[in-house]
Structure 1
Amino acid sequence: MGSALAGHTRGRRERLRTETTAEIKTVALELMASGGPDAITLRAIAREMGMTANAIYGYFTTRDDLVTTLINDVYTSLADTVDAAWDAIPAEEPADRIQAWARAFRGWALANPEGFRLIYGDPVPGYRAPAGGGAPDAARRVCTGLTALAAAAWPHAEHLYTGSDFGWSDFDAGLLDKVRPAFPDLPPAAVALALHLWARLHGLVSLEIYGHLRTQTISPDKLFREELTQLIRSLGLTPKGGRPS
């Protein structure tokens, strides 16, 4: 009886801790959305949640511990989303795969604007990543996924880079550490293609997330779809169903 009660009590405490941790992270992102990256402080979060400052330190020892957790969570959510979209399309349909990845990326960003701003917007002032931590594994997955887009398009788009003088020294060593092991046969120009694809997709989504398209168009979805159409055509690809959807 006593053992069962103790187990029930531990289980309840664990559930409460999990729920409180999730709320802390949600409030942190809400504060960032309303006040910018420097609005993320443990004291501000405690105040919003009606907790004491000392109580919140039982969940996250420092502000940087919280930010690190948030970054990992956000990247994991994004990586899971775009990977699932990519994997759902057969490898024999590169145009459709690229479209699926791009639509999933935009859809995730629109559903998670605070997370998008955390990992792709202004850095959190004074934040220091854990020593030796490097980029989160999920961030590497996103980077590798972008290179997969270029790898899928490369047989059709290689001629676009004929005569280019890209070499491995043109790229950051950290980037190459992520992508070369996954795609050992790709030349340096294909990495350049990956960055060009990223610029086109990320650029338009970023403008939308930060509200810069609001006074420019009432149809940002249509604009993004047309961007995909032109992108696919520029790569010499044709979606299985014809015009990109």
Structure 2
Amino acid sequence: MNDRTVSRRARLRADASAEIKGIAMRLLAEGGPDAISLRAIAREMGMTAGAIYSYFATRDELITTLIGDVYTGVVDAAEAARDAVPESDPGGRILAWAHAIRDWAVADPEGFRLIYGDPVPGYQPPDDSPGKDAELRACTGLVGLVAASWPTAQAHQPTDRTYSWTDFDPALVAHVREDFPDLPPVGIALTLRVWGRIHGLLALEIYGHLRALIHSPAAVYHDELQDLLHSLGLQRAG
């Protein structure tokens, strides 16, 4: 077997894997998580069940791959948008991150539903899931945005509640304390609130709850982000 034959087989296998994942995402869009079935995909592709299992041994393996691909893609886009804005402009970096998330979600609503919607029934992600790595990157990225804003934002936080490290997941706390040692526990709470504001209206839009109410969901999303910056005492540099 020569290198050309090996390369052709690898290309054909990659193409088939991509087709399997594309059909799975369409089934998700049409019927929800329960509609993802290796046997259904095999029938649509004209393959035997045994043949498709040579690509993905189980439905959970396919879902793990889908989540990893989707989550990694959106975090890559958000990080690239953030990093295109100078660190001296923390408000601009938050806006860039949030708009990148929305641009992706509007273009790929099925992907949004897969990682931010209802859990796939019966699915158990493995400990080494690439989606978990991407989720940690997303969380760390948001914490980093809050940490960069903290010198200004701390003066705008509620004073009637205190937080301790024990209020949060120990694994998250370990990462925050290592990467952002000057951020206090209330900074994690603020990160969760920022996440909620970035994703709240977006989830309503993706699930179809805003379309009958406003012609431009992007407009209210923009206003929400501006209000978010104001609540942090931030504004765009320049």
With normalisation by structure 1, the TM-score equals: 0.92
CA distance in structure 1 between the aligned counterparts of 2:128 and 2:13, rounded to whole angstroms: 28
Matched, 1:181 2:178: yes
With normalisation by structure 2, the TM-score equals: 0.95
CA distance in structure 2 between the aligned counterparts of 1:145 and 1:50, rounded to whole angstroms: 42
Aligned to 1:84: 80
Query: 1:192-203, aligned counterparts within 5 Å?
Result: 192-203=189-200
Aligned to 1:220: 217
Name which of structure 1's ranges 75-84 and 161-170 shifts more when overlaid on structure 2: 161-170
Find the residue that maps to 2:56 and give its secondary structure.
Answer: coil
Give the direction of change, closer, same or farther, for the CA distance of 1:83–1:203 in structure 2 (3 Å limit): same
CA distance in structure 2 between the aligned counterparts of 1:152 and 1:54, rounded to whole angstroms: 52
Aligned partner (choices 156, 160, 182) of residue 156 of structure 2: 160
Aligned to 2:167: 170
Aligned to 2:116: 120
Find the residue that maps to 2:179 and give its secondary structure.
Answer: coil
The CA RMSD measured in Å over matched residues stands at: 1.6
Amino acid in structure 1 at the alignment position of 2:54 = G
What displacement does 1:43 show? 0.5
What displacement does 1:217 show? 0.8
Matched, 1:207 2:204: yes
1:72-129 deviations in whole A, cap 9, x for unaligned? 1111101100000111111101111111111001111111111111111011111111
Aligned partner (choices 102, 106, 111) of residue 110 of structure 1: 106
CA distance in structure 1 between the aligned counterparts of 2:231 and 2:24, rounded to whole angstroms: 41
Matched, 1:95 2:91: yes
How many equivalent pairs are there? 237
Contact map agreement 2:163 2:185 (CA 8 A) in 1: yes
CA distance in structure 2 between the aligned counterparts of 1:9 and 1:69, rounded to whole angstroms: 26
Contact map agreement 1:143 1:179 (CA 8 A) in 2: no
What displacement does 1:139 show? 1.2
Aligned to 2:19: 23
Show structure 2 runs of 5+ residues with no match.
none
Contact map agreement 2:24 2:36 (CA 8 A) in 1: yes
CA distance in structure 1 between the aligned counterparts of 2:60 and 2:8, rounded to whole angstroms: 28
1:172-206 deviations in whole A, cap 9, x for unaligned? 22332443322122100111110010011111111
Show structure 1 runs of 5+ residues with no match.
none
CA distance in structure 1 between the aligned counterparts of 2:174 and 2:24, rounded to whole angstroms: 32
CA distance in structure 2 between the aligned counterparts of 1:66 and 1:177, rounded to whole angstroms: 31
Q: Percent identity?
A: 57
What displacement does 1:50 show? 1.9
Name which of structure 1's ranges 178-187 and 103-112 shifts more when overlaid on structure 2: 178-187
